[in-house]
Chain A
């Protein structure tokens, strides 16, 4: 593998430096580096970050290849600056056996646009009744470390307790989609002033908060660690903050869309805004930003949820829940966290690469940008501003809430172990 010299890049947003990649590794970081025969990339003051890691992606393969495949999803990931994605288990068949997780892992390896770490289901068929073979999935070639019934909540307290205990044997983590099922029957959007007016079924904040409260107590009781998916309410933030202050091993994620969008947008009845957990209020958005800034929320995760056009071009009630997010995540984080002064680029690297890699044990990712480390890197033109144009997405689906919206920042280059997957905004 040849050498690449990235010239004049602001590493984690610092002073411009040169970074020399040799093979799959960062060889040198410094000023005025020269390298014979190296391919030179003029960074021109762009920000260089460790390759982003998404702990929460839906790749849809196997089963819903009309929405996304491992190939199209990882191409979308590379476009968005990601070098690793964790693929959620709610596929068809469900990723609840060693066979399915190995299939997904192998597809990721073959395509080479980013590493794919399959997430294993906690329970058989995501049904919440019987533990899936967590150990077998861990021991498979896929080496599963994160388990989740995402899309559904592990709502039975005993099953959740057993899962938390069981994965301790191999250092796994259970990622909970916190949604009390009875409190959210018929739920279509955030329960509040807007849902009452629109006559849409309410998804109350307490349905999320009550499960998080229970699960941090369970994790404390059995001495295990729990990860909470896509926090969406101010109350959830308070519970996680309290749990951390007590030393409970809990980590939490927030999606880019919950950092930017509110339930006011649902007044359009446009299903592009239909997502689970639902868009909340301005107050919740502000609390989530603050919590991500102060570390109460550990990471940003996209919850990239591709759906074909016809599943969204319909009335609200009939529409599928979810939005794509891999290709816009960094822009939304720049808009909501960096441009607002809440987080610097080192902070973004921490929340979108270092910490998610740690939680998911993606060794080789989320490493410092320094000599000897794997060359998993992302170059961002932070001065760029432009309209989001879903027609240009690499994802097979276009269900983005940002169509026609101006967002800052653009990923121009992505390198996976020294091999470019994205060059000048174009996939290799």
Chain B
């Protein structure tokens, strides 16, 4: 493993499988009466959130606390980042405080990369979502959810997603989740298809390791998982599509469409779901929809990532770090 986790593209197949396997071990901790490991005792982790995301922050915080790390939450929302000094200044403050890892969420693409590579700070950097660039732990938790559902928690150990067919639907252009997932799923051997109107696909997408389609219906019957991406309502005003109604008809997932998916196939969503336009309540509430599991799995994945970046290379649960012995 590298020292930072900035992009899903940085992970090799073996890195990714190791994280998924470690996350399975971490998931078992959640079943214990005391959901805590001593693994990162004495380590300080800062959740540095320049952009609001309560869900992601709480997920990281839960992971950090289950590993017994000392947690500092730093929310920079509202502070002036327009001058550009604040990321560097904040980093140097954290450095002076002797922080071991920084989990950063930032509205600007590349901010975590800068933080990790500019010599501002020595701590490990975990990207918790940057602009429209990457959200690697989201992709890992999605892959983890797929492996559990499509292969099984125990049968899946050591396995990748070779041959699984995954369809991502919606606003690929603005989606860090889509970028991260395409990178990681490709690394794990899955076949990925992106479905969106042409206006919501980036220039140069033909170079991405995936298929692209404008037509949702033709992809449904051959998908093992269909992941709906969030479409923000303001995209409509910027003429990315004519009306919400038309979008919903062409790219929304409703009961009829779900019925055309193979029986074992799952429906995923990174949340929060906007019911109606992109996904109907019927689909969101069906037992094929993994949204709630994705949230739970997010904690296990983040525990695994932080453990591997900060703790060591040995299996987390059975062999605690040497200094813990």
Binding site for B on A (CB under 8 A): 188, 191-200, 202, 204, 268-269, 310-311, 313-319
Interface status of B114 (Cβ within 8 A of chain A): yes
- Chain A neighbourhood of B84, CB < 8 A: 310-311, 313-315, 318-319
- Chain A neighbourhood of B281, CB < 8 A: none
Q: Is the CB of B130 within 8 A of A314?
A: no
A199 to B136, CA, bound (A): 14
- Chain A neighbourhood of B82, CB < 8 A: 318
Q: Is the CB of A199 within 8 A of B132?
A: yes
Known: A199-B130, A200-B110, A269-B110. A315 touches B87 (CB 8 A): yes
A269 to B130, CA, bound (A): 12
Q: Is the CB of A199 within 8 A of B134?
A: yes
Within 8 A of A (CB), among B199-221: 202-205, 207-208
Within 8 A of A (CB), among B176-218: 176, 179, 202-205, 207-208
Q: Which of A193, A194, A195, A197 has the most C-beta atoms of chain B within 10 angstroms of its own C-beta?
A: A197
Within 8 A of A (CB), among B64-109: 81-85, 87-88, 106-109
Interface status of B302 (Cβ within 8 A of chain A): no
Q: Is the CB of A199 within 8 A of B203?
A: no
Interface status of B111 (Cβ within 8 A of chain A): yes
- Chain B neighbourhood of A313, CB < 8 A: 84, 88, 118
Beyond the given A269-B113, A314-B84, A314-B85, could you list 15 further A-B residue pairs with CB under 8 A, ordered by the A residue number?
Answer: A193-B204, A196-B205, A198-B109, A199-B131, A199-B134, A269-B117, A311-B84, A313-B84, A313-B88, A316-B108, A316-B114, A317-B107, A318-B81, A318-B84, A319-B84
- Chain A neighbourhood of B88, CB < 8 A: 313-314
Known: A193-B204, A196-B202. A318 touches B108 (CB 8 A): yes
A191 to B115, CA, bound (A): 24
Interface status of B147 (Cβ within 8 A of chain A): no
A315 to B81, CA, bound (A): 10
A311 to B131, CA, bound (A): 20
Q: How many A-B residue pairs have CB under 8 A?
A: 82
Number of B residues near A (Cβ < 8 Å) is 31
A265 to B237, CA, bound (A): 33
27 sampled A-B residue pairs with Cβ under 8 A: A192-B203, A193-B203, A193-B204, A195-B203, A196-B204, A196-B205, A198-B110, A198-B133, A199-B133, A199-B134, A200-B109, A202-B203, A268-B117, A269-B113, A311-B84, A313-B118, A315-B87, A315-B106, A315-B108, A315-B114, A316-B111, A316-B114, A317-B109, A318-B81, A318-B82, A318-B83, A318-B87
B149 vs chain A, min Cβ distance (A): 28
- Chain A neighbourhood of B203, CB < 8 A: 191-193, 195-196, 202, 204
| Per-residue contact bits, chain B 111-142, to A (CB 8 Å; 1 contact, 0 not) | 10111011000000000001111100000000
A234 to B60, CA, bound (A): 47
- Chain B neighbourhood of A195, CB < 8 A: 202-204
A197 vs chain B, min Cβ distance (A): 7
Q: Which of A191, A193, A194, A311 has the most C-beta atoms of chain B within 10 angstroms of its own C-beta?
A: A193
- Chain A neighbourhood of B118, CB < 8 A: 313
B109 vs chain A, min Cβ distance (A): 4
A204 to B203, CA, bound (A): 9
Chain A residue at minimal CB-CB distance from B179 = A199
A241 to B87, CA, bound (A): 45
Chain A residue at minimal CB-CB distance from B207 = A193
A313 to B176, CA, bound (A): 24
B10 vs chain A, min Cβ distance (A): 12
Q: Is the CB of B202 within 8 A of A315?
A: no
Chain A residue at minimal CB-CB distance from B206 = A193
B68 vs chain A, min Cβ distance (A): 32
B93 vs chain A, min Cβ distance (A): 15
A268 to B118, CA, bound (A): 10
- Chain B neighbourhood of A202, CB < 8 A: 202-203
Chain A residue at minimal CB-CB distance from B110 = A269
Chain B residue at minimal CB-CB distance from A202 = B203
A196 to B106, CA, bound (A): 18
- Chain A neighbourhood of B115, CB < 8 A: 315
- Chain B neighbourhood of A315, CB < 8 A: 84, 87, 106, 108, 110-111, 114-115
Q: Which of A188, A191, A199 has the most C-beta atoms of chain B within 10 angstroms of its own C-beta?
A: A199
Q: Is the CB of A314 within 8 A of B205?
A: no
B112 vs chain A, min Cβ distance (A): 9
B218 vs chain A, min Cβ distance (A): 24
- Chain B neighbourhood of A199, CB < 8 A: 109-110, 130-134, 176, 179
- Chain A neighbourhood of B176, CB < 8 A: 199
